[in-house]
A and B are shown apart, each in its own frame.
Chain A
Amino acid sequence: GAVVSQHPSWVICKSGTSVKIECRSLDFQATTMFWYRQFPKQSLMLMATSNEGSKATYEQGVEKDKFLINHASLTLSTLTVTSAHPEDSSFYICSASRVAGVGEQFFGPGTRLTVL
């Protein structure tokens, strides 16, 4: 149990285009989902916290107009990178917390974004 999927697993796009990444909790309901960004050989950097049915809470320094987050249901959150540029190239990981349990976060497999 507690499986989180991400789609796509990797994407290459041209500069200026928008990319949508989906995060789904497959076998549990996730009231809260998190979006992280990870650069090579570095730790995870929290971008935003997403609660179902409400606006996402962005961390300081993260542009909410550039990284659009929608948490449409208890099993789906999406991150849209708008007008992507090469500096947005990174590994994006989502995670989800179950209501029950000790509060561990279950992570998706990540999406590697490359902007040309």
Chain B
Amino acid sequence: AQKITQTQPGMFVQEKEAVTLDCTYDTSDPSYGLFWYKQPSSGEMIFLIYQGSYDQQNATEGRYSLNFQKARKSANLVISASQLGDSAMYFCAMREGLVTGNQFYFGTGTSLTVIP
């Protein structure tokens, strides 16, 4: 089974609107971390936001928030007030366990295009 599933290969959003990028995960480890990364056309991977499995509240970082639904094993990324610079590939990732050096499992990514 896939550890991370992103079912939206491509998404479009109007500038200044909000958009939700879906991510579901699969793990039996009670301790895990969920991450979202942005990859613009330049190729660099930019860390956006983190949610720990024991965190009670949804993570937020500026215009990014993570809608964490533990029972449904989903960790959707919400981008508010989209900007043209948000156009990029977005990857959801998971690390199992508490050891920070553990490997990441990446989803297949969602290509977001912001329309002016």
Binding site for B on A (CB under 8 A): 31-32, 34, 41-44, 46, 49, 51, 91, 93, 95, 97-99, 101-110, 112
B41-55 toward A: CB 8 Å interface, digit per residue (1/0)?
Answer: 011111100101000
Shortest Cβ gap from B58 to chain A (Å): 15
The interface stretch among B63-71, B74-82, B101-109 is B101-109
Interface pair A43/B35, CB less than 8 Å apart? no
Interface pair A43/B107, CB less than 8 Å apart? yes
Interface residue tally of chain B, by bracket? 20 to 34
- Which residue of B44, B101, B107 contacts A51 across the interface (Cβ within 8 Å)? B101
Of all chain B residues, which has the CB nearest A49?
A: B103
- Which residue of A44, A91, A106, A112 contacts B47 across the interface (Cβ within 8 Å)? A106
Task: Report how far A7 CA is from B91 CA in the complex, Å.
Answer: 24
* Contact flag A46-B108 (CB < 8 Å), given A91-B43, A102-B52, A104-B35: no
Of all chain A residues, which has the CB nearest B45?
A: A107
* Contact flag A46-B103 (CB < 8 Å), given A102-B50, A103-B33, A104-B35: yes
